[in-house]
Chains A and B, each alone.
Chain A
């Protein structure tokens, strides 16, 4: 099977009580690339994310992943297959420590099986140690290591966004979808994150990013989709999209 396209969403339609939020939107993500989805507030970016990740069902249209129709697959199965999204509004596990937030993300945990978790102490412990090491590495990179034992609900808004990203990184997903990952994050940290994202891309992972910091997005993205009022206004390499007149008047001009 061709890996020309890792994920494809075709002719996606979505309406909420009368208002059409997505109008026959199609996107395709090539493996190992960074794709940016830009557009003004209310354009339908988050809705498209949710449809791709399985949190919202499209009214019509098809989502294909690695050649397979996943349109009706539940969200958790898509995540298991490597499609992981972050939430625009942080969905932290408030009563859990920052480290525990990351440890929850660990996949295939022996200690989560019941009743096996009751007697596979040794294997559970080893897995916990390995996951803790991975988690601390991610926390250190994102500058959260000092807060590892703090309850997630006490973090600032910007730190919660970083935690959201950290949890997703924990899964080392094949397709990482980030919904405004830099909103509220200090500039210097944001720069580091962008650099890391480029690295992840270089390792063959695929990224889809919604971001308002256009300058940053244009710098790292290989491909850009511009969504306005539920319609794809333009798509192409960043340099081309930036020159597009429709985009400049409809979106960039307004920014």
Chain B
């Protein structure tokens, strides 16, 4: 049962991550290859504040989200004007930097040893009750995040973000501060990543730097692309398909002994890669992507 809980919890946490990335990439067209940095900041902030300074859990989570957002703000101000590709490279560098700081500032972060004894929500109620209740809490927060994204998507703000993605100069010509909106989206997406990081830390109860490798960013991109970039339900579907596949293949390892563990993890990534290629070729809008409007070709009498 605990294993099922963990699979669901990971699915929800990846859903939340994909929701934040969708706001950045799907709505606004910001490519953030350093997404994991904000997950790590959220996880470490909440873990350190609650374990070392005995902050209440909710305050730790809020601080995790806030600090992730705060870290993204100057980064955005300085680099968002660089434009797509450069920004992607800078964010990748930023995530490496955050990882180095976590590894080397041992006094603060406990270094490579990591942080143990992070509390689960409702830990006082004993393991039998705390697991489902913690899961419920994660589910509620994920649902709230999804609701927030949906509200943004259906608002004039969402329309503007899509306009910026479609044609930034045109939006500027209409008086829109596009760089400002991109920084805003970066900050909100980072807050979501930070919250997801905090939830993760308090679910697994132990974090160390190797859990925040670029694989997390990579997996989030995969979840989003699987589900459908820019769609509302896509992140949920994509995250759960990804987690079920990743966890399922680990379970399978106990029964099938054809491959060694190493071979199997390599195989996993090959299968994911293949699935992505097939998806991009045959269904670029994702499993649940937005349907293309199927209107017949319009008369083009004028030209």
Contact assessment for A113 and B157 in the assembled complex, using a CB-CB cutoff below 8 Å: yes
Nearest CB of chain A from residue B77's CB, rounded to whole Å: 14
CB-CB nearest in chain B for A152: B166
A15 close to B (CB within 8 Å): no
Contact assessment for B298 and A154 in the assembled complex, using a CB-CB cutoff below 8 Å: yes
CB-CB nearest in chain A for B170: A91
When each residue 174-185 of chain B gets 1 if its CB lies under 8 Å from chain A and 0 otherwise, what string results?
Answer: 111110000010
User: Given A107-B175, A155-B298, list of 18 further CB < 8 A pairs?
Assistant: A75-B169, A75-B172, A76-B173, A76-B178, A84-B174, A86-B173, A92-B167, A93-B162, A93-B171, A110-B156, A111-B156, A117-B151, A118-B155, A147-B298, A150-B295, A156-B301, A156-B303, A157-B300
Nearest CB of chain A from residue B290's CB, rounded to whole Å: 9
A74 to B160, CA, bound (A): 19
Q: Contacts A117-B155, A159-B302 given; indicate if A93 touches B167 (C-beta within 8 A).
A: yes
Q: Contacts A114-B184, A159-B302, A185-B302 given; indicate if A94 touches B166 (C-beta within 8 A).
A: yes
Residues of B within 8 A of A104 (CB): 156, 159-160, 163, 171, 174, 176
A128 close to B (CB within 8 Å): yes
Q: Which A residues lie at the B interface, using CB under 8 A?
A: 53, 55, 74-77, 79-80, 84-87, 91-96, 100-101, 103-107, 109-114, 117-118, 124, 128, 147, 150-151, 154-159, 167-168, 170-171, 184-186, 189
Contact assessment for B298 and A184 in the assembled complex, using a CB-CB cutoff below 8 Å: no
A-B pairs with the 4 shortest C-beta distances?
A111-B156, A158-B302, A79-B175, A91-B170
Nearest CB of chain B from residue A34's CB, rounded to whole Å: 20
Residues of B within 8 A of A189 (CB): 302
Can you list 15 pairs linking A and B with CB atoms under 8 Å apart? A84-B173, A84-B175, A86-B173, A96-B163, A104-B174, A114-B157, A124-B155, A128-B156, A150-B293, A154-B297, A156-B301, A157-B302, A158-B303, A171-B174, A186-B302
Nearest CB of chain A from residue B170's CB, rounded to whole Å: 4
**Which residue of A53, A95, A105, A117 is within 8 Å of B157 (Cβ)?**
A117
Q: Contacts A154-B295, A156-B300 given; indicate if A103 touches B173 (C-beta within 8 A).
A: no
Contact assessment for B174 and A79 in the assembled complex, using a CB-CB cutoff below 8 Å: yes
Contact assessment for A150 and B175 in the assembled complex, using a CB-CB cutoff below 8 Å: no
B279 close to A (CB within 8 Å): no
Contact assessment for B159 and A100 in the assembled complex, using a CB-CB cutoff below 8 Å: yes
Contact assessment for A96 and B188 in the assembled complex, using a CB-CB cutoff below 8 Å: no
Contact assessment for B162 and A95 in the assembled complex, using a CB-CB cutoff below 8 Å: yes
Residues of B within 8 A of A76 (CB): 171-173, 175-178
Residues of A within 8 A of B173 (CB): 53, 55, 75-76, 79, 84-87, 91, 168
In the complex, which range does the number of interface residues on chain B fall in?
A: 20 to 34
CB-CB nearest in chain B for A78: B175
CB-CB nearest in chain B for A170: B174
A147 to B298, CA, bound (A): 10
**Which residue of A77, A128, A156 is within 8 Å of B298 (Cβ)?**
A156
Residues of A within 8 A of B157 (CB): 111-114, 117
Nearest CB of chain A from residue B165's CB, rounded to whole Å: 8
Q: Contacts A76-B177, A104-B160, A184-B303 given; indicate if A95 touches B298 (C-beta within 8 A).
A: no
Residues of B within 8 A of A75 (CB): 169, 172-173
B152 close to A (CB within 8 Å): yes
Contact assessment for B160 and A112 in the assembled complex, using a CB-CB cutoff below 8 Å: yes
A255 to B156, CA, bound (A): 45
CB-CB nearest in chain B for A187: B302
Contact assessment for A171 and B175 in the assembled complex, using a CB-CB cutoff below 8 Å: yes
A22 to B300, CA, bound (A): 37
A252 to B237, CA, bound (A): 63
**Which residue of B151, B170, B177, B298 is within 8 Å of A93 (Cβ)?**
B170
A110 to B167, CA, bound (A): 22
A93 to B159, CA, bound (A): 10
Residue among B170, B174, B301 with max Cβ neighbours from chain A (10 Å): B174
Contact assessment for A96 and B159 in the assembled complex, using a CB-CB cutoff below 8 Å: yes
A101 to B163, CA, bound (A): 8
Contact assessment for A103 and B166 in the assembled complex, using a CB-CB cutoff below 8 Å: no
A62 to B175, CA, bound (A): 21
Residues of A within 8 A of B175 (CB): 76-77, 79-80, 84, 107, 171
A60 to B167, CA, bound (A): 28
When each residue 261-303 of chain B gets 1 if its CB lies under 8 Å from chain A and 0 otherwise, what string results?
Answer: 0000000000000000000000000000000010101101111
A55 to B157, CA, bound (A): 23
- In chain B, positions 75-103 with a C-beta closer than 8 Å to chain A are none
A147 to B160, CA, bound (A): 20
A143 to B148, CA, bound (A): 37
A107 to B160, CA, bound (A): 12
A151 to B297, CA, bound (A): 11
